Structure 1
Amino acid sequence: MSVALRERPEVDAGAASVPIDFLVLGAQKCGTTWIHHVLSQHPGVFIPPAKELHFFNKSSALSRGCGWYADQFAAAGAGQLRGECTPNYLWNHLDPRDRTVPGEHHDLAPKLAELRPQLRLVATLRNPVDRAISAFHHHINQGRIAPDARILDHLWTLGIASMGMYARHLRHWIDAFGREPLMVLIYEQDVAPDTVKPATAQRLFAHLGLAPFEVPSLYEQLNARRSYLAMRLARHLPPSGLAGRVVRRGIDTITPARVDRLFRFAVSKEERVELSRLFAPHQAELEALLGRPMPWG
């Protein structure tokens, strides 16, 4: 089901056409926005302000050509490491039940390893049940799924389940690059608690070969949840983009919490149990791959 990078619009001219030193691979809804925020503050790093370039995994971006991709890093200073953060890069294997996404590509690592064998990689993982629910709500907020839908009816839509089958995705990158270039962070242990953020930032810098740096801004709230009312109205709002974001934020701002509670929806306990059963063998596979237990029960 996956399509090799070399079978798509060609990434040409070798390593010079892919001017990056690192990639933050994802996973989606696992703290990559915080990682992007931290890296953007280090003086030794250039990371494009626009997170999620999707150059290697979407036909619409790849068709713009390597010149467009190189232009995203044209403002990098001499000696700065260049990299980007696109959470879907981690999603490299579809489950047979997945509904394919037009224009979404997988099997990224082999060609990238050929072009940039010294690439440094960062992945961050989260309890796959929580990640799936967060992704489900994200797609509701984008108007792709109805707010009263059941998550179990959409597991194989837009990678909601398969993105959380982490071992198969990590193995894809390890097979191409080896284990050493890949840093794996666990959201609940390394990203979410404020007490660990300074140490995690320094570990991230060290992994990329950067000097220690005291990050000015570590604790801002990023990617706050949309109001339930905004999510319920999402299908009737402008699509993703500036207009859609402005309207959604306006609804968030003017809706009192006591009113928003009236529009609440949630994944049931029974659905969480089913999700846990689905991910249990994949968690065991991940623990064997990484050689350590996960903090997810």
Structure 2
Amino acid sequence: MSPPSEPDPKSISRGVSYIPFGIPGLDGNVRGIPTGSSVLLAGASDAGGDAFTYTSLATLMLAKHRPDLVPGHVARRSDAIPDSVTYVTLSHDREHVYSELDAVLDGYQFEALTEHMTVADFSQRFMELLPVPPALFDARRTDSDIEAPADDQPESAEPDDETFRDLLDDIAERITEDTDDIVVVDSLTDLDRAQDYGLSKGRIVAFLVGLREAVVNWGNVAFVKLDRRAGEVRRDDRIHGLLHGAVYFYSNDKGFETYRTMRVGSFGGALDTERQTVFESLVGPTGFRAKATKKIGPSNW
């Protein structure tokens, strides 16, 4: 019996769907995000990554549920957009996430996003693993919806790689509950800092590798946010290039103003041989938007 024939590679490629970034000025200049992709969003905390994330998510939810409120070229691609968002946070509690959304988005954007977004709040769990003074920990507000710790976790365990492993396992299990969603992990920054308290770099990389491969199988999209200067991230060989694609955010002070730019990194190597487009980043009443300004060679990143 002859072995089954291999599928035609071109037919596989043509079957890939792309969802828009949901960012005015970027969509139309860049093809979009292939479904089944994990995307690193990296830049200093003041470089615009938060506003980009919130605007992207809000626009995608509008395109899916209120297409009359987004540009036609975005609305026409709504079939590839997941119906909802799962937002995993270690950085802030749920109230803080909603407050930040409200500060960036207009009312109709905020409503569309929050109606179709679930916040998985692991912030309390994360704090339990750090040597936070008891008086300050006890003063923090609690919420019945905060993700609960594992039942067998020691109450006063010293943080180490194994205790952080339990947290990452629980985060992974929570993500797998909503495999049809856009997934956001807002807290690679906190995991990066947790290396000071026992979490190993290898454990972080393994988590990202697992998420990357799971997203391929699920066919959705995952955003992973990292608040660290883009140049530093690009020099970190264990993070740079690990996920399918990246968006890098830059900020430079010019007099009394901060000039912000962004660049879209490689998705599957396709952009590595091309001149990169630099986008000026602007944040206005309806969130983040981009404006193409110039092209640079790969060596100028």
With the shorter chain as reference, the TM-score category is 0.3 to 0.5
Give the strand-richer structure, 1 or 2: 2
In the superposition, the TM-score normalised over structure 1's length comes to 0.32
Whose RCO is larger (CA < 8 A, sep 6+)?
2
